[in-house]
Amino acid sequence: MMADYQQILDRLYTHLRPMAPQGTRLGEDTDLISEFGLDSVNVMDLLLEVEEDFDISVPLNLLADIRTPKDLARAIVRLLEAG
Amino acid sequence: MALFDKFNKLANDRAELFPTGLSPFETRIEEVYSPTEARIGGRRVLLAGTNNYLGLTFAPECIEAAHKAVEREGTGTTGSRMANGSYGGHYALEAELGDFYRCNSVIVFSTGYLASLGLIGTLAGAQDIILLDADCHASIYDACRLSGAQIIRFRHNDVADLERRLQRLRERTENTLIVVEGLYSMLGDRAPLAEIAAVKRRHGGYLVVDEAHSLGVLGEHGRGLSEEAGVAAEVDFVLGTFSKSLGAVGGFLASNHPESEFLRYASRPYIFTASPSPSVVASTRAALQLLRNRPQLRERLWANATQLYHQLRALGYQLGPEPSPVVATLLGSRQQAVAFWQGLLERNIYVNLVLPPAAPGGYTLVRCSVSAAHTPAQIDTICEAFADLRAMLKRSDTPDSHRG
């Protein structure tokens, strides 16, 4: 699969939208915790879905640097490219 | 952000959930009468949230052993085993656990939490990978962080998900620790250990089973899920604790890998903390003998657990997926869970309240833990209180489903 950033971001949105608290804006720079209202366990559970979708394992160690959909999409691009 | 600002959310949650100031997380147990009764808030309460599975905290044999040890060897060891020396009891307990588990190497730690850190946090390093079940205890998550290894989480009890992740790792599985628990402490469900062992056989890796809640509870001899599932020989490392079925405090690692003895020299949670007190070691040894010699304790425990599980289910409560000595009742909102917990205490029943993120899957729950020391009449009393509170849960306010 091509590791296309925009496609990956769009697929991330499909996972994120059902989790959105009412009236929350969702963009690539939305802070998943402070703006989107997820807690650390929600983020780890989101990761399980995303990992299944992309057939990858995302080490939890990366979460410290993932605050937004953009961060997560970029991490996925790197993991897909690394094979 | 100033130093203490990170606590603002906690302070707000606490004020919102516990406006009267009495928090279920600050329960004061004023007097303990027995393994199943205590005084809380001035009232005599039935204890159903203690992890005291075999009810051994007041066993005369354990109390006598602790007495003798404190008189002979004093109140504390005042130091770590590496720097200040090991007492006879430390080695004797390790030998007795080795005999019990048929393992060459047993290392005793000062708590179960430290045993997790001491094994996982030391054995796995920056080049290694840890695959852990999503519902693993916080001590295992902390141990993973301490290790510096790559941490990969798989779906709770999902063997296919574990297998996919092992396949992706390919030859790196020889540097991989797989970590699961015998009995998960929040919903009381077992790991599918025979299948997990089979996946390990196919793909490689080392298997750690934390038997904290299953020691003395599962298996023909009480060794835990590894014994019950018939895969003890394929479990590389058993972690356990003395603070539940053995009624004291402390933890251990048992393994047949001769190299695990080197953990004594490498494990900071072993080296840089004081060793267990003589009285703790002595009562633990006595409790282990009782666990081995009295299988009827395990039978009594399971009879109580099954009675409680089926009676609560008959009342229409949503419970964890299978009967076990951990009986979790799934509730709705956090406010409802707090009110439910308080309602039980007003009816003289003490259980544990668990809110997310400590409870998995966003659940709120009250957790009963059953003891061999409960009488069938006490289990009935617990169920009567639950029956009384059933009306509190409106249908719309209960969780739609629980995970199976």
DSSP string, B250-275: -EEEEES-GGGGGHHHH-HHHHTSPP
Contact A57 B144 (CB under 8 A): no
Q: Are strands B37-40 and B43-47 parallel, antiparallel or unpaired?
A: antiparallel
Q: Which two tokens stand for residue B264?
A: 């004594």
Strand order in the sheet with B364-369: B326-331, B364-369, B352-354
DSSP state of B261: G
Active site residue B203: no
Which tens digit of pLDDT belongs to each residue from B24-75?
Answer: 888 999 999 999 999 999 999 999 999 999 999 999 999 999 999 999 999 9
- CA-to-CA distance for B288 and B246, rounded, in angstroms? 7
Length of chain A equals 83
B44 forms beta bridges with B39
Residues 17-36 of A with CB under 8 A from B: none
Interface mutation vs chain B, best among A51, A54, A76, most B CBs within 10 Å? A51
Distance CA B295, CA B279 (A): 25
Q: What is the pLDDT of residues B371-382, one digit of tens each?
A: 999 999 999 999
A32 vs B21: which has the higher pLDDT? A32
Interchain CB distance below 8 Å, A44 and B153: yes
Inter-chain touch A59–B161, beta carbons under 8 Å: no
B151 contacts A40? CB cut-off 8 A: no
- pLDDT tens profile B193-249: 999 999 999 999 999 999 999 999 999 999 999 999 999 999 999 999 999 999 999
Q: Locate the domains of chain A by residue range.
A: 5-14+27-82
Q: Does A65 touch chain B (CB under 8 A)?
A: no
Is the pLDDT at B394 greater than 80, yes or no? Answer: no
Architecture of the CATH domain A5-14+27-82: Orthogonal Bundle (1.10)
Q: How far is B253 from chain A (nearest CA, A)?
A: 25
Interfacial B residues in 349-378 facing A (CB < 8 Å): 356-357, 360-362
The answer to whether residue B21 scores a pLDDT higher than 70 is: no
Nearest to A48 among B155, B169, B356 (CB): B155
Give residue limits of the domains in chain B: 3-57+295-397, 59-293
Residue B313 φ then ψ, to 5°: -65, -40
- Chain B hits for A42, CB-CB cut-off 8 Å, are 362
B3-57+295-397 CATH, one of 1.10.10.10, 3.90.1640.10, 3.90.1150.10, 3.40.50.300: 3.90.1150.10
CATH T-level fold of B59-293: Aspartate Aminotransferase; domain 2 (3.40.640)
Q: How far apart are CA B272 and CA B328, in angstroms?
A: 36
Phi, psi of B254, rounded to the nearest 5 degrees: -125, 135
Nearest Cα of chain A lies from the Cα of B166 at a distance, in angstroms, of 10
Q: What is the pTM of this model?
A: 0.94
> What ipTM is given for this predicted complex?
0.91
